[in-house]
Amino acid sequence: MVTALVGPTASGKSEVALEVARAVRASGAGEVELVSVDSMAVYRGMDVGTAKPPAEVRAEFRYHLIDLADPD
């Protein structure tokens, strides 16, 4: 199953995605992976001003497209 959660900036999408991921995992429905499509989260070191999940949350689920490239 693929689910897309979309909405305006700072509307709480990350928090909702995490709640849904935890519920899916708890239901035993299978492995959960999250994909960030934040335009700045892809850059290493660009933590201020982005909604990158903290390390402890990123350890809980597999995240994609975070910290992939240097800003230069």
Within-domain flag for 47: yes
Within-domain flag for 61: yes
| Structure token digits, residue 55 | 């390390």
Q: Rounded to two decimals, what is the model's pTM?
A: 0.82
Do residues 62 and 33 lie in contact, with contact meaning Cβ atoms separated by under 8 Å? yes
Whole-number Å distance between alpha carbons of 42 and 70: 9
For the chain, give the longest Cα–Cα distance. 42
| The predicted structure's pLDDT at residue 69 | 95
The total domain count for the chain is 1
| The predicted structure's pLDDT at residue 63 | 94
What is the domain range of residue 56? Answer: 34-72
| The predicted structure's pLDDT at residue 24 | 94
Within-domain flag for 58: yes
Within-domain flag for 21: no
Within-domain flag for 55: yes
35 strand-pairing partners: 64
Do residues 3 and 30 lie in contact, with contact meaning Cβ atoms separated by under 8 Å? no
Do residues 40 and 49 lie in contact, with contact meaning Cβ atoms separated by under 8 Å? yes
